[in-house]
Amino acid sequence: MKKEAVSLDFKAKAVFWLHVVLVIAAWTGPFLFSWEYMVLGFGIIQTQFYVYKSCLMNAVHGLEEEDDTTFYSHLFESWGFHPNRKKLKFFIRQILYIALGIFSVFWQVYLGNEALLF
């Protein structure tokens, strides 16, 4: 195997696992981090969806977004669950991160819960 291929393979795997960590952070973030950081982060995510019509990390770790494939559908399918890709993509790109941002504000501001970390 060429050095370039190994390097690219390592980079793709590293970005894949970074993507996994960021997805976990998105789901747990409303409890761990200040709502201001979470809303900013979710805003950045939504902006990439609106501007680039894709998740920029997917291309780096080799996930093509043809046929409405998303990172979530890729994970689910690797576990043997085959969701409707079009509906899942709509939910992820148009609802999920906006809802998580709203939940972050609701949880911390309205209910008065403090972020566990910062």
Considering the domain boundaries, does residue 117 fall inside one?
no
**Spatial CA neighbour of 96 closest among 57, 58, 63, 70:** 70
SS3 assignment, position 26? helix
| pLDDT at 50 (0 to 100) | 94
* Contact (CB, 8 A) for 46 and 98: yes
CA distance 99 to 12: 29
Whether the predicted pLDDT of 116 surpasses 90: yes
Considering the domain boundaries, does residue 77 fall inside one?
yes
Whether the predicted pLDDT of 4 surpasses 90: no
> Looking at residues 27-32, what average pLDDT do you find?
97
Whether the predicted pLDDT of 1 surpasses 80: no
Any idea what DSSP says for residue 33? Answer: S
Considering the domain boundaries, does residue 115 fall inside one?
no
* Domains of the chain: total: 1
| pLDDT at 30 (0 to 100) | 97
**pLDDT category, 61, cuts 50, 70, 90?**
confident
Q: The domain containing residue 75 runs over which residues?
A: 3-110
Considering the domain boundaries, does residue 78 fall inside one?
yes
